[in-house]
Amino acid sequence: MERLLGEADFHRLASEFGRSELVIATRAALAGVREAVLEGRVEETSFRDAIASIASTVRTQLASTTVPSLVPLVNATGIIVHTNLGRAPLSQPAIDAITRIARGYSNLEFNLDEGKRGQREKHAAKLLARMFPGYDAQVVNNNAAAVLLVLNVFANSREVIISRGELVEIGGSFRIPDILERSGAKLREVGTTNKTRLADYEEAIGAATGLILRVHHSNFRIVGFTERAATEELVALGRAHELPVIEDFGSGNMLPLGRYGLPDEPTALESLEKGVDLVTFSGDKLLGGPQAGIIVGAPERIQACRKNPLARALRVDKLTYAALEATLSSYVRESALEDIPIMKMLSAPASEIESRSRRFVDHLETIDGLDLTVMKGFSKVGGGAAPEEEIPTYLIAVDTSGQSAQRVLDRLRSQCPPVIARISDDRVLLDLRTVLPEQEGLLQSALKKL
Ligand X SMILES: *Cc1c(COP(=O)(O)O)cnc(C)c1O
Q: Rounded CA gap, 344 and 327, in Å?
A: 13
Distances (CA, A) of 215 to 117, 169, 246: 37, 11, 9
Q: Contact region for ligand X (CB under 6 A) — 98-106, 214-222, 232-240, 388-396?
A: 214-222
The answer to whether the bond into 418 is cis (omega within 30° of 0) is no
**How many residues in the shown chain lie near ligand X by CB under 6 A?**
14
Interface residue with ligand X among 293, 297, 377, 382 (CB under 6 A) is 293
Residue 254 CA from chain centroid, whole number: 17
Are 149 and 157 within 8 A, CB to CB?
Answer: no
Residue 223 CA from chain centroid, whole number: 27
Who contacts 231 (Cβ-Cβ below 8 Å, separation ≥6)?
A: 214, 247, 266, 271, 274, 275, 276
Verify binding: residue 174, ligand X, rule CB under 6 A. Answer: yes
Verify binding: residue 250, ligand X, rule CB under 6 A. Answer: yes
Sort 321 into a burial class: Cβ within 10 Å, 0-12 / 13-18 / 19+: buried
Verify binding: residue 175, ligand X, rule CB under 6 A. Answer: no
Residue placing its CB nearer to ligand X in the complex, 137 or 144: 144
Q: Rounded CA gap, 349 and 354, in Å?
A: 9
Pick the closest to residue 422 from 384, 366, 379 (CA basis): 379
How many other C-beta atoms can be found within 10 angstroms of the C-beta atom of residue 431? 26
Residue placing its CB nearer to ligand X in the complex, 209 or 219: 219
Q: Contact region for ligand X (CB under 6 A) — 210-218, 228-236, 257-265, 322-330?
A: 210-218
In degrees, rounded to 5, the angle at the alpha carbon of residue 233 between the alpha carbons of residues 227 and 235 is 130
Verify binding: residue 170, ligand X, rule CB under 6 A. Answer: yes
Verify binding: residue 79, ligand X, rule CB under 6 A. Answer: no
Q: Contact region for ligand X (CB under 6 A) — 53-61, 67-75, 140-148, 256-264?
A: 140-148
Closest distance of CB 290 from ligand X, Å? 11
Closest distance of CB 42 from ligand X, Å? 53
- Pattern 398-417, binding to ligand X, x per CB under 6 A? --------------------
Q: Contact region for ligand X (CB under 6 A) — 56-64, 136-144, 237-245, 372-380?
A: 136-144
Residue placing its CB nearer to ligand X in the complex, 123 or 216: 216
Interface residue with ligand X among 75, 142, 253, 271 (CB under 6 A) is 142
Q: Contact region for ligand X (CB under 6 A) — 212-220, 230-238, 412-420, 442-450?
A: 212-220
Q: Rounded CA gap, 94 and 98, in Å?
A: 6
Binding site for ligand X (CB under 6 A): 142-144, 170, 174, 215-216, 218, 248, 250-251, 282, 293, 384
